[in-house]
Amino acid sequence: MRAAALPLLLCFALAGAASPALAGAASPPRSISWWFDVAENTTVDAANAATIAAHRGVFTRVMPYNARVPLDGNVSLWWGHDADVAAWNDPLQALGVPVLPYLIDVDNSTQMHAVYANASAVVADAVALAQHYGFQGWFIDYEDEYPPDTDPHKSAKLAAFLTLLGDALHAAGKRLTICVASWSALLADYEAIAASSGVDELQLMSTYARPADFESVVDTYFSKVRAGAGSLSKAGVGIGVYYDGRNGYDKDWDEDSARTFIQYVAAQGGTALDIFRLLKNEKDDWPHAEWWWVVLEEFVNATTVSSDSPHLN
């Protein structure tokens, strides 16, 4: 997601697990994915890699936004960047963290329909590029806003493209994730997107700033993902760690609000978190509070939900 008044934003997702309170039931693994910019500043890239190394347990996947490649749907533009990509990708691969960069980042439905029209070529390139650079998959951020997608079959067309792309990636041992959100009729069709065999995870953007009605937002999302996928295995829930009261942002997250939010997600059966923004430098240090690492480690280790939680009874 890219907001008009913000710098480039990053999306990362976490996979969730079943409640530890369910005696005798095996808990699926929990995961946490992170979004961040790369290829803009080598110092920041190195600092991010060092941060991941220091907190490896809460980095299940990373979704780098490569500033050197136009992400407008012409995925062939990724070719010819071997040195640029290696500069940030090699350190991440050495840490053993799966890397799923942004393949497409558009908010123009006309551009996306051009992708659909050339789907076979896009898919072939996407698979070949992932293999060439050693990526573990791809991430898509398509927000149909300028102009909005008015095609009456828009959900079916997006789902069909995701199935074509994801199935091809799966055949090559790669994965596919996509951002979704309640503010778009297309992206709020969680059931149709989750039903696509090609999608490994949906990452919900609507909870980045911890809305007051986050419980109903999460409940609706989980219900529709479960209807489409048969489980919550594809449901990643977003947290915007930069909403911490600095640089003009409202302070929507502190240790208590983060823990309460994550406990609610986990209590509903969620096992995946999507962390929106990792940036480590001398000015914009997200997440800058050490308690984030504690709270996220609690989630990964399935210690965020107690057996007496009212949501589990």
User: Tell me: the pLDDT tens digits for 203-239?
Assistant: 999 999 999 999 999 999 999 999 999 999 999 999 9
**Structural domains of the chain, count:** 1
Nearest to 55 by CA among 255, 267, 278: 278
The pairing of beta strand 271-276 with beta strand 14-16: antiparallel
pLDDT in tens, 161-177: 999 999 999 999 999 99
pLDDT in tens, 189-201: 999 999 999 999 9
Q: Has residue 3 been placed in a domain?
A: no
Q: What are phi and psi of 247, to 5 degrees?
A: 55, 35
Q: Has residue 1 been placed in a domain?
A: no
Q: Has residue 156 been placed in a domain?
A: yes
The domain in which residue 140 lies consists of 14-306
Mean pLDDT of 290-304: 92
Q: Has residue 49 been placed in a domain?
A: yes
pLDDT in tens, 253-275: 999 999 999 999 999 999 999 99
Note the pLDDT of residue 18. Answer: 35
Q: Has residue 5 been placed in a domain?
A: no
Q: Has residue 2 been placed in a domain?
A: no
* CATH code, domain carrying 161: 3.20.20.80
Q: Using CA atoms, how far apart are residues 34 and 231, in angstroms rounded to an integer?
A: 23
Note the pLDDT of residue 304. Answer: 56
pLDDT in tens, 179-189: 999 999 999 99
Mean pLDDT of 69-94: 97
pLDDT above 90: residue 9 = no
Mean pLDDT of 69-82: 97
Mean pLDDT of 117-131: 98
Q: Has residue 312 been placed in a domain?
A: no
Q: Has residue 51 been placed in a domain?
A: yes
